[in-house]
């Protein structure tokens, strides 16, 4: 039997190694953690933690499309080029070109050509675009050590639920939450170390995978979530990434037989290829905080201040006061 004694503040833990028990460095680490948690000056609830969390949903979308339209007319050669999102339709008339008839791809670059004397008109629509967007949520939760705090930025959608009754089946409505959800539980080990249990989740409505129930369309939920426990210092950050989602949609339209011809078949069909990839990135930063004195509380936005002439011209009055965190300061 081996005895190892570890001290932490006023608390002392003794670990006995033997058959079926922890020995060596593993026992030392476990005892040290228990000693820090049980130390009188570090009991749960005696420390307050502010957890800053940033959600970034980075979405990359690629869209490519190509299509042709033909018509018959008479007259001289005419042409026009129309930029995206500025055309609803186009038409060819013997007296000139009229942008009224439906184009193959409304939001694309459209090239109009016509040879009225030969009775031919054509519309070429081509689209190639790339999109990148970020959907951000930056909540800050203030919670005591050992307690749980939660956050939700989103909404609720109705879900019909069948219920049996004496007169037959009836529908009741239940509401399900969706959006950006966060649940955190911090444990303060010392003045410089915090164990943080965090469970972030991002969900959005997915009508493509919805179901229909007695005339009601109930959307599905596209959900990405994670749950982890880490130990880090006050003010340090950690990142959760790799929660990705990808989809690809290909739409084809063609003239029977003519669209299947080699080479020439490209003039008798339309094709649209859309790819979407979305990745969720989460950055969490716990820090120890303490209350400020009443005279140190910065004014809220809208509180009257006395700006100078330069502040009034540049519009910077009250910028320093309102940019400070409200109600808490860092140690």
Per-residue model confidence (pLDDT) at position 255: 73
Per the domain annotation, does 237 fall within a domain?
Answer: no
Where among 100, 128, 156 does a domain terminate? 128
pLDDT band at 27 (very low <50, low <70, confident <90, very high): low
Domain that holds residue 33: 1-42
Residue 200 pairs in a beta bridge with: 182
Is residue 107, in this structure, part of any structural domain at all? yes
Record the pTM.
0.49
Of 275 and 205, the one with more pLDDT: 205
High-pLDDT (> 90) share of the chain, %: 1
Give a yes or no: residue 309 inside a domain.
yes
The 10s digit of each residue's pLDDT in 125-164 is 665 555 565 656 788 888 888 899 988 888 888 888 877 7
Mean pLDDT, rounded, of the chain: 68
Specify the range with the lowest mean pLDDT, choosing from 7-16, 190-199, 209-218, 289-298.
7-16
Written as one string, the DSSP assignment of 18-77 is -TTS--HHHHHHHHHHHHHHHSGGG-TTSSEEEEEEEEEEEEEEEEEEEEEEEE---SS-
* Residue pair 136/55 in contact by the 8 Å Cβ criterion: yes
CA–CA gap between residue 264 and residue 39 (Å, rounded): 81
| Integer Cα distance of 309 and 313 in angstroms | 6
- The answer on pLDDT for 77 being more than 70 is no
CA gap 23, 17 in Å, rounded: 5
Residue 210 in any domain: the answer is no
Highest mean pLDDT among 33-37, 274-278, 314-318: 274-278
- Which has the minimum average pLDDT: 110-119, 261-270, 290-299? 110-119
Average pLDDT, integer, range 247-267: 75
The residue ranking higher by pLDDT, 212 or 312, is: 212
Decide if 47 is inside a domain: no
Give the per-residue pLDDT at 274: 73
pLDDT greater than 60 at residue 278:
yes
DSSP state of 260: G
Phi and psi dihedrals of 202, rounded to 5?
Answer: -125, 125
> Using DSSP, how many helices (H) and how many strands (E) does the chain show?
3, 17
Tell me the HSE value of 296 on the side-chain side, using a 13 A CA sphere. 8
In a domain, residue 28? The reply is yes
Q: Are residues 120 and 76 in the same domain?
A: yes
Rounded CA separation 141/197 (Å): 13
Q: In the chain, which residue ranges form alpha helices assigned H by DSSP? A: 24-38, 309-314, 319-323
Please state, in angstroms and as integers, the Cα–Cα distance from residue 165 to each residue in 127, 171, 176, following that order: 55, 10, 23
Give the lowest-confidence range in 105-109, 153-157, 193-197: 105-109
How many domains does one find in the chain?
3
108-124 pLDDT, tens digit each? 555 555 555 555 556 55
Q: Considering the domain boundaries, does residue 21 fall inside one? A: yes
Q: With 50 as the cut, is the pLDDT of residue 326 above it?
A: no
Residue 206 has pLDDT above 50, yes or no: yes
Q: State whether 75 and 123 are in the same domain.
A: yes
183 three-state secondary structure: strand
Out of 90, 113, 128, pick the residue that ends a domain. Answer: 128
* pLDDT, position 328: 42
Confirm whether 10 is domain-assigned: yes
Q: How far apart are CA 244 and CA 196, in angstroms?
A: 24
């Amino acid at each position: 039997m081996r005895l190892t004694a570890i001290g932490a503040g006023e608390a002392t833990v003794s670990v006995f190694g033997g058959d079926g028990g922890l020995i060596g460095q593993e026992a030392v680490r476990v005892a040290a953690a228990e000693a820090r948690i049980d130390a009188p000056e570090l009991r749960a609830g005696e420390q307050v933690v502010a957890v800053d969390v940033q959600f970034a949903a980075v979405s990359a979308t690629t869209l490519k499309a190509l299509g042709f339209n033909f018509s018959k007319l008479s007259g001289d050669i005419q042409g026009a080029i129309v930029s995206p999102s500025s055309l609803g339709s186009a038409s060819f008339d013997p007296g000139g070109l009229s942008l009224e008839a439906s184009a193959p791809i409304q939001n694309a670059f459209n090239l109009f050509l016509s040879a009225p004397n030969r009775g031919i008109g054509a519309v070429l629509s081509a689209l190639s675009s790339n999109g990148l967007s970020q959907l951000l949520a930056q909540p800050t939760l203030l919670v005591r050590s050992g307690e749980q705090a939660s956050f939700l930025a989103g909404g609720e959608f109705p879900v019909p639920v069948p219920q049996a009754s004496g007169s037959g089946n009836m529908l009741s409505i239940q509401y399900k939450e969706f959006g950006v959800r966060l649940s955190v539980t911090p444990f303060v080990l010392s003045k410089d170390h915090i164990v943080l249990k965090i469970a972030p989740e991002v969900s959005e409505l997915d009508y493509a995978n919805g179901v229909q129930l007695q005339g009601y369309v109930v959307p599905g939920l596209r959900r990405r979530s994670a749950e982890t426990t880490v130990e880090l210092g006050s003010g340090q950050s950690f990142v959760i990434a790799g929660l990705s989602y990808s989809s690809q949609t290909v739409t084809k339209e063609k003239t029977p037989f003519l669209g299947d011809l080699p080479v020439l078949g490209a003039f008798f069909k339309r094709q649209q290829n859309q790819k979407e990839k979305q990745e969720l990135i989460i950055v969490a930063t716990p820090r120890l905080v303490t209350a400020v004195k009443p005279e140190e509380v910065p004014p809220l936005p809208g509180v009257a201040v006395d700006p100078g002439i330069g502040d009034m011209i540049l519009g910077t009055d009250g910028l320093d006061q309102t940019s400070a965190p409200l109600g808490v300061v860092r140690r």
